[in-house]
Amino acid sequence: MAYSDKVIDHYKNPRNVGSMPKSDPQVGTGMVGAPECGDVMRLQIKVNPETQVIEDAKFKTFGCGSAIASSSLATEWVKGKTVEDALQIKNTDIVRELSLPPVKIHCSVLAEDAIKAAIGDWKRKRAESESQPEASTAAAQGD
Amino acid sequence: MQVSPSPSPACWSCHAATDGAHFCPACGKIQPLASADYFAFFGLPQRLQLDADDLERRYLSLSWKLHPDNFVRADQFERDLSLELSSQLNDAYRTLRDPVSRVEYLLARLGVRKEGQTRQQAPPELLEEVFELNESLEELHMAREAGGDGDETAELRRRLEEAGRGFEKKLADVDAELAAASRDLDAAMDGARDPLLARLNEILNRRSYIRNLVANVARELQEGEPA
């Protein structure tokens, strides 16, 4: 099966590979996996608490070229968006952009799930810090 | 969950009832595929526990009877049937012979497991663990590529071997779980099957991560073997 040029580009020059500190209250971490193939993907976002804009995004994916390209593209797309806008990204958008074949659609599903999981994690953290402001400040400093 | 195919098919040649057999009981002519079900192809019920020797005997006997060599003088229709059924036979045998692909097949057939549409997640702890071990694998790989210092690589290898053994143990455990759940499904009444099917699916999902890791660790350790 031939990969599209865009998949190959993201695979060879993945954008935003790396990690951010999980315990940072501004960082949301999404860890997801595809049971069909055993791929695992971690996507992290850093959100500006005032504007709710995603200022940075990092990923690391152990999987096939399409999974890497999907998550690389996802980090590019979420950067600069508000969390609410980022939640609107659909796996079908990724499929279209990368011209993924039907057998690789689950890779795009994985990337969409990773975005949602990262945002979910960030929202949970924020809710927790609002309910216990002192404890969370202490935890953040402890890092 | 009926094993027997559509109501009593009739022989294309003599019109006798074939009851889904590959050969007409009346005239002996080869018949079109009566059911797409792999279990039914071997005349077996849809049960996950099956006797491997019995399956092999059925396979050998059918491959002998369906073999295209037996049809060289038959007409085109029968020659085509022989090819089609022989190919189905091989697919069915390959799938049912292995206990894991047998479960995958049954779940896909019952619509429980849909390729590319699953959104069920593995337990987060397992994903974390899988992710971390993959990172260690990558570290070892890069250390070796860089021709890194012997002690460091040796230590990485040692850690990987240990982690690899841990995951081999997990693979054995998950296989045992799969076998137990397969037994439960075979024993269950119709109404009790759904939760067991969901459980089998969940076990298969976990298994695919563990299996990949065991394979990756083995490959990495093998590549790093001093020549």
Is A38's CB within 8 Å of B128's CB? no
| pLDDT for A24 | 94
Nearest Cα of chain B lies from the Cα of A39 at a distance, in angstroms, of 7
Candidates A29, A31, A32, A40, partner chain B, best to mutate (most B CBs within 10 A): A40
Phi, psi of B127 (to 5 degrees): -60, -45
| pLDDT for B2 | 47
Which helix or strand (DSSP H or E) is residue B4 part of? none
| pLDDT for B154 | 83
Instruction: Tell me the C-alpha distance between A39 and A33, whole Å.
Output: 6
| pLDDT for A44 | 97
- Nearest to residue A62, comparing CAs of A87, A44, A43? A43
Q: Give a three-class secondary structure readout of chain A.
A: CCCCHHHHHHHHCCCCECCCCCCCCCEEEEEEEECCCCEEEEEEEEECCCCCEEEEEEEEEECCHHHHHHHHHHHHHHCCCEHHHHCCCCHHHHHHHHCCCHHHHHHHHHHHHHHHHHHHHHHHHHHHHHHCHHHHHHHHHCC
| pLDDT for B139 | 83
Residue A37 annotated among the catalytic residues of the structure: yes
Residue of A20, A31, A37, A53 marked catalytic: A37
| pLDDT for A129 | 84
A38 to chain B: closest CA residue: B209
Q: CB-hemisphere CA count at 13 Å for A45?
A: 33
| pLDDT for B190 | 83
Candidates B141, B167, B207, B209, partner chain A, best to mutate (most A CBs within 10 A): B209
Residue B152 has pLDDT above 80, yes or no: no
Residue A107 annotated among the catalytic residues of the structure: yes
Nearest Cα of chain A lies from the Cα of B139 at a distance, in angstroms, of 13
Instruction: Tell me the C-alpha distance between A11 and A101, whole Å.
Output: 16
| pLDDT for A25 | 93
| pLDDT for B184 | 96
For B120, the closest of A31, A35, A38 (CB atoms) is A35
| pLDDT for B121 | 64
Instruction: Tell me the C-alpha distance between B129 and A41, whole Å.
Output: 12
Is B127's CB within 8 Å of A36's CB? no
| pLDDT for B169 | 94
Q: Which tens digit of pLDDT belongs to each residue from B100-133?
A: 999 999 999 998 877 655 555 677 888 888 898 8
Q: Which tens digit of pLDDT belongs to each residue from B19-69?
A: 889 999 999 999 999 999 999 999 999 999 999 999 999 999 999 999 999
Q: What is the pLDDT along chain A (143 residues), one digit of tens a residue?
A: 578 899 999 988 899 999 999 999 999 999 999 877 778 999 999 999 999 999 999 999 998 889 999 999 999 999 999 999 999 999 999 999 999 998 888 899 999 999 999 999 999 999 988 887 555 454 445 44
Kindly state whether A62 is in contact with chain B, defined as any CB-CB distance less than 8 angstroms.
yes
Residue of A68, A107, A110, A115 marked catalytic: A107
- Residue-wise burial string across B81-119, b where 16 or more C-beta atoms lie within 10 A, e elsewhere: bbeebbebbeebbebbeebbebbbbbbeeeeebeeeeee
Instruction: Tell me the C-alpha distance between B113 and B99, whole Å.
Output: 16
For residue B159, the SS3 value is: helix
Tokens of B187: 């024993």
| pLDDT for B225 | 60
A111 touches A61 (CB < 8 A): no
Instruction: Tell me the C-alpha distance between B35 and B167, whole Å.
Output: 39
Task: Give the model's confidence band at B216: pLDDT under 50 very low, under 70 low, under 90 confident, else very high.
Answer: confident
B130 to chain A: closest CA residue: A40
CA distances in angstroms from B6 to B19, B31, B36, B82, B105, listed in the order given: 9, 14, 11, 21, 21
